[in-house]
Structure 1
Amino acid sequence: MLTNYEKELIAEIWERMTPVAEDIGSEALLRMFTTFPGTKTYFSHLDISPRSPHLLDHGKKIVLAIAEGSKDISQLAVHLAPLQILHAYQLRIDPTNFKLFSHCVLVTLACHMGEDFTAVAHAAMDKYLSAFAAVLAEKYR
């Protein structure tokens, strides 16, 4: 359960990161592909090399969805409903990948934010990204 302070902190972080959404998203995806090579199978039709247009575009889309969800976390399931259906029924992404990607986002945020990524910010973001991943995985049940 996120406190009001954590919700505000998460929204503030994503507002700050939105201008660099391409960088955050593509770097997190690249981390995931490098650390967990099996996740690449869903992207075999795209150029996923560092800074490729496909990687930058998809990374930006993901980060903007995460940032948008952070504006009203209580409505996360409503906000993510179209993405739930897309990932579960059309793309058939293994829901474990959402957790793996969440971890990579945390590492990427820590790299980009430096000292501003405090222990409190880390814990709050971990809770939020876990909730985000759980909501995306709901349609798999």
Structure 2
Amino acid sequence: VGVGLAGGCATQDEATTDGSGEFTPGGVWLGVVTAELSSSQAARLGLHKGRALLVHSVTEGGPMHRAGLREHDVLVAFAGKRVNSAEDLLNVTLRLKPGQVVPVTFLRKGEMKTVDVQVEARPAPSPPTPPRETAPPAK
């Protein structure tokens, strides 16, 4: 699950349009890809209050990387909200503005840590690479 955590949910219209019908990505970019841990997996890690998110990968130089998060960390809370699912994380990021600094609580090798992360605007998608033109066959 790429995330790009929990209170009420923004409506899809609030998250995807600016009123003109144009798509505007909601929320902010974190630079992590996560996977949900089941409650039993979380309990094995000593997290007895539900589920959590495993950090599957971290974009080098991205907000979470600069804050110190690394692959295999377990994300427990973001911006003061418990993170049980990717949906939780998304709901919180939809309410943040680029440049905000929020606390992130995570588990690394059995130790709970909290750091501050400065979130960024979601990067614009890269345009697709046009197909290369090939020369016509020689006669």
How does the TM-score come out when normalised to structure 1?
0.25
* Larger gyration radius, structure 1 or structure 2: 2
**Going by fraction, where is strand more abundant, 1 or 2?**
2
Answer 1 or 2: higher relative contact order, Cα 8 Å, separation at least 6.
1
- Which has a greater percent of helix? 1
